[in-house]
Amino acid sequence: AAAACVPVRVCHQEIVRFDLEIKAAVQDIRDCPGPLSALTELNAAVKEKFRHLRGRIQELEQMAKEQDKESEKQALLREVENHKKQMLSNQAAWRKANLACKIAIDNSEKDQLLQGRDSVRQRKTTKESLAESASNITESLMGISRMMSQQVQQSEETVQTLANSSRTILEANEEFKSMSGTIQLGRKLITKYNRRELTDKLLIFLALALFLATVLYILKKRLFPFL
What is the rounded CA–CA span in Å between residue 97 and residue 157?
37
Count of alpha carbons within 13 angstroms of residue 43, beta-carbon side: 28
What is the rounded CA–CA span in Å between residue 34 and residue 117?
15
pTM: 0.45
What is the rounded CA–CA span in Å between residue 21 and residue 45?
10
The per-residue pLDDT of the chain, averaged, comes to: 83
Lowest mean pLDDT among 1-15, 67-81, 132-146: 1-15
Q: Looking at residue 1, what is its pLDDT? A: 37
Strands (E), the chain: none
- What number is the average pLDDT over the span 96-114? 83
Which has more pLDDT, 227 or 210? 210
- What number is the average pLDDT over the span 72-91? 91
Identify the sign of the CA torsion 141, 143, 148, 153.
positive
- What number is the average pLDDT over the span 55-72? 88
- What number is the average pLDDT over the span 70-85? 90
- What number is the average pLDDT over the span 6-18? 84
**Domains of the chain, start order:** 1-113 (1.20.58.400)
Residue 101 has pLDDT above 80, yes or no: yes
What is the rounded CA–CA span in Å between residue 87 and residue 141?
11
What is the rounded CA–CA span in Å between residue 227 and residue 223?
9
